[in-house]
Structure 1
Amino acid sequence: MSPLRGMVLKLSAVLLFVIMASLIKASSDVVPPGEAVFFRSFFAIPIILGWLVLRRDLSTGLRTRNPAGHFWRGLIGVSAMACGFAALGLLPLPEVTVLGYAAPILTVVFAALLLGEKIRLVRMSAVIIGLVGVVIVMLPQLGNESMGTSAKWGVALVLASAAFKALAHVHIRKLVQHETTSSVVFYFAVTATCLSLFTSPFGWVMPDALTASQLIGAGFIGGVAQILLTEAYRNAEAAVIAPFDYASILFALIIGYTIFDEIPTIHTLIGSVVIVGAGVLIIWRERQLGVKRGPARSNLTPHG
């Protein structure tokens, strides 16, 4: 293992995921979320296949003993991705990024309900703190009628995305007990591509050259980011590099301000600090308990 290499790979992956989200956001006025999911998933497949070939792991990556498990992981993941992409068209990039970090908090709750994991005082405190942070970020939309319904729909969609991502996290924890990381990565991209096609009757459009390049770029960048993320957890323990997820908030603030002229509200800044604190507390507690979830985490992203 090389912890420093793992940290660099993790930061690179996080930055690429934010860039991917920015490209999706830039195209959100032209294409519907389902179409964006198709481009994001389909154009990631060649990158993933190339990675498996270079690793001489193609046969392992294509082998599965649980196709139904991959289907359900794909369905949940596509739901998370579609809700998140829809939210990008309605809310500022930093706000979507911050609210998306409700997913690790909800994972603790779902793991207790679905997997029977115990929630003791520290974890319960982290969940409560994180939810307080979410409420702080949501206050401007919930308490200001002038914000309009689009912003409120955006909040609802990003929270739905976080809930679906949390369910995906829990499902992957079970899936990787018998499936390889390579197969989970590959079959998610394939399943997401196929499932996204079912949204084509709901308003798909022929994108112009600029929009198409943004969507294709999002797919390629997302595929590269997924590989870097997987390799990061191969080089360092999850507890060491998991906190670097929260660098995405800083990247989103910078890109949101420079590209989209989005100035974060004081509620977003305060809420992000509270949510990050809750997430770090969960990570610390898992490290104390010796919970090793590297294989599962390597398949997760901030945006589904």
Structure 2
Amino acid sequence: MSPTRGILLKLGSVALFTVMAALVKAASDNIPSGQAVFFRSLFAMPVIIVWLLLRHDLKTGLKTKNPMGHLWRGLIGVTAMGFTFTGLGMLPLPEVTAIGFAAPLLTVVFAAFLLGERVRAFRLGAVAFGLVGVLIILWPLLSVDNLDRAVMIGVVVVLLSSVFRALAQIQIRRLAGREETSAIVFYFSLTATILSLFTLPFGWVMPTAQEAAMLIGAGLIGGFAQILLTSAYRYAEAGVVAPFDYASMLFAVVLGYVVFAEVPTVYTLVGSGVVIAAGVLIIWRERKLGLKRGQTRKAGLTPQG
């Protein structure tokens, strides 16, 4: 184990995922979200396949005991990605990132209902605290004085993306008890590529050279980011690296300002702080109980607390 290396890998993955989102946002004026999902998934696959080959893990990545489970994970994940990409075209990058922090909070709730996890008062309180933070972020976006139809739709689709991202995590937990991580990564990219093709009749366009470069770049960067994320958990406990997910807010603020001239509101920053504090509290509670998410995935167990 090398916690420092694990943290650096996690920060690298978070930074790359934020760059990927910025590239998708930059192309969103002309490129529909379904087409963006296709490029993101298709061009991530060569990176993932090369990674599996280098690890001598390609055969493992192709083996599966639960093909329908991977199909459901793909359907849920593609839906989440599609909503996220749609939201990126409607809202500033920091706001999309901040609202997306609702996903891990919702995962706790869904795990109780769908996986039968025991969620005690501490974690329920932390989830409620985090959702207050989400409401703070949304307050100026949905206030009567500033109500805008496009913004309202953007808020709804980003919230929906958080719901489906949380459901995707539940499906991954179900798969992790029987499937290798490499198989989960490979089959998600494969199913996402195929499923996104079904959006072809709904307005795909011929991208310009610049748009094509941004979309291909988003796919390649997304693939590298996925590898860094997976590798991070090989070098450090999940409880150590998980809090660094929230560094995405810093990267989003910087990229949003430099690339899109977007300045986050005070509500966004304050609400993000509340949500981040809630997420860290949940992670701290799990660590205090001696529950490691990495062990949970491998053993197919469910955390309590």
TM-score, normalised to structure 2, is 0.96
Partners of 1:194 and 1:292 lie apart in 2 by 34
Change (3 A) 1:195 1:145: farther
**Once the 2 structures are TM-superposed, how far is the Cα of residue 120 of structure 1 from its aligned partner?**
0.8
Alignment match, 1:158: 158
**Once the 2 structures are TM-superposed, how far is the Cα of residue 118 of structure 1 from its aligned partner?**
1.1
**Once the 2 structures are TM-superposed, how far is the Cα of residue 142 of structure 1 from its aligned partner?**
1.4
Are 2:140 and 2:146, in contact at CA under 8 Å, matched by a contact in 1?
no
1:1-304 map, 5 Å:
1-294=1-294
Partners of 1:97 and 1:142 lie apart in 2 by 17
Are 2:98 and 2:268, in contact at CA under 8 Å, matched by a contact in 1?
yes
Partners of 1:79 and 1:288 lie apart in 2 by 34
**Once the 2 structures are TM-superposed, how far is the Cα of residue 174 of structure 1 from its aligned partner?**
1.0
Partners of 1:89 and 1:155 lie apart in 2 by 11
Residue 141 of structure 1 aligns to a residue whose secondary structure is: coil
Residue 264 of structure 2 aligns to a residue whose secondary structure is: coil
Are 1:97 and 1:252, in contact at CA under 8 Å, matched by a contact in 2?
yes
| Matched residue type, 1:278 | A
Give RMSD over aligned pairs: 1.2
**Once the 2 structures are TM-superposed, how far is the Cα of residue 144 of structure 1 from its aligned partner?**
3.4
Residue 263 of structure 1 aligns to a residue whose secondary structure is: coil
Are 1:13 and 1:225, in contact at CA under 8 Å, matched by a contact in 2?
yes
**Once the 2 structures are TM-superposed, how far is the Cα of residue 295 of structure 1 from its aligned partner?**
7.1
| Matched residue type, 1:203 | G
Change (3 A) 1:296 1:25: farther
Partners of 1:297 and 1:15 lie apart in 2 by 24
Partners of 1:180 and 1:290 lie apart in 2 by 23
Are 2:28 and 2:88, in contact at CA under 8 Å, matched by a contact in 1?
yes
**Once the 2 structures are TM-superposed, how far is the Cα of residue 294 of structure 1 from its aligned partner?**
2.2
Partners of 1:99 and 1:233 lie apart in 2 by 25
Change (3 A) 1:154 1:281: same
Unaligned residue ranges in structure 2 (runs of 5+): 299-305
**Once the 2 structures are TM-superposed, how far is the Cα of residue 147 of structure 1 from its aligned partner?**
3.9
Q: Percent identity?
A: 62
**Once the 2 structures are TM-superposed, how far is the Cα of residue 292 of structure 1 from its aligned partner?**
2.2
The number of residues matched between the two structures is: 298
Unaligned residue ranges in structure 1 (runs of 5+): 299-304
Superimposed CA distance per residue, residues 158-181 of structure 1 (whole angstroms, 9 cap, x where no aligned partner): 110000000011111110100000
Structure 1 segments (4+ residues) deviating >3 Å: 144-147, 295-298
Partners of 2:123 and 2:129 lie apart in 1 by 10
